[in-house]
Amino acid sequence: MRHFTTITGKDIEQARLFLEQGHTVAIPTETVYGLAANALDEEAVVKIFEVKNRPQFDPLIVHLAEPGQITDYVQYLPRVARRLMDAFMPGPLTLLLPKKAILPAIVTAGLDTVGIRVPAHPLTRALLQSLNFPLAAPSANPFGYISPTRAQHVYDQLQGQIPYILDGDIATIGIESTIIGFEDDTPVVYRLGGLAIETIEAITGPLRLQLNSSSDPRAPGMLKSHYAPRKKLYFDPLQPITAFPVGVIAFNRYSNDYPENCQHLLAENGHLQEAAIHLFDVMRRLDNSDVKAIVALPFPEEGLGRAINDRLRRAAAE
Ligand code: TXA
Ligand code: MG
């Protein structure tokens, strides 16, 4: 693979030029950083899979500047999809919808649906508005590892492999988008994420969840083991810990079971949104520290706490 001197900066024009030349560029979104390329250029999209070391059966999300562009890439919008778009786009929501032929098969891994998202981050929105093509982008991490929430996280892992990182500061949501598909026009949640289920249900009524943990081709990235640090992560309180010292991830209070100085509180203010912002950053810091294992204590199973628990469960899976 070609070697680049990776530059980090806030220059939208520079990012645009690299993307127009068919390169990949890391872009900030409010959820996590993405590794973007021209979604209409098959050769550019292939580079995303190479850089991430991602299997080509795992489809990519297509990012648009405006909700109004969705019908350029999607054949059909259920009525409830329109209501979700009106309520939550731009924002941390991805909709799976039947794709139009203009999108190359590699983007969707041959599936007939495409994941579409309109990110809210101002830099990336301005970038998308300056381009005459949409951006295919998975999270900007090596396949299976923790998603990046800072430009530095991307640099640490992809330095030399990509020409440019558009620096949009720390992600303000910190956890990937919520993914919703449709079965007979009824919405189904395939991935818990940065938009809380309760918030969506206020629009749709009670939602069905299908959070696959295997290799269902409809959501291949929902692999049981994913979002994982290199070190062992314990999330099951019954599993005996065999490696010490440990670093502990906790919500807003210290646990009596561990010394305080090895515990990392994600949100002393008790807000789950605040905890989501810091989750991946703290996981990475512990992974790069001299602890031998990571222990995560359970979060309240409500709001973004459900998505946080989901990520921790997958990070702990063998
Ligand atoms: O917040 C996010 O969604 C971030 C930012 C960069 O937009 N992107 C992201 O992409 O998390 P990625 O590729 O890391 O995760 C997308 C997930 C994968 O599990 C993929 O398998 C699934 O969405 N996916 C994408 N398109 C799909 C499709 N057509 N059908 C089923 N699953 C799909
Ligand atoms: Mg990912």
pLDDT above 70: percentage of residues in the chain: 96
C-alpha 142 – ligand 2 centre gap (Å): 8
| Residue closest by Cα to atom 32 of ligand 1 | 219
Identify the CA nearest to 117 among candidates 165, 171, 76, 176. Answer: 176
Is any atom of ligand 1 closer than 6 Å to the C-beta of 22?
Answer: no
Q: Is residue 20 a contact partner of residue 12, using CB atoms and an 8 Å limit?
A: no
Please state, in angstroms and rounded to a whole number, the distance separating the CA atoms of residues 235 and 213. Answer: 16
Q: Is residue 115 a contact partner of residue 96, using CB atoms and an 8 Å limit?
A: yes
Predicted pLDDT at 209: 96
pLDDT, one tens digit per residue, over 283-299 is 999 999 999 999 999 99
DSSP code at position 234: E
pLDDT, one tens digit per residue, over 194-237 is 999 999 999 999 999 998 755 554 555 566 777 899 999 999 99
C-alpha 104 – ligand 1 centre gap (Å): 16
C-alpha 176 – ligand 2 centre gap (Å): 8
Please state, in angstroms and rounded to a whole number, the distance separating the CA atoms of residues 200 and 190. Answer: 13
Is any atom of ligand 1 closer than 6 Å to the C-beta of 96?
Answer: yes
The yes-or-no verdict on residue 59 having pLDDT over 90 is yes
**Mean pLDDT computed over every residue of the chain:** 95
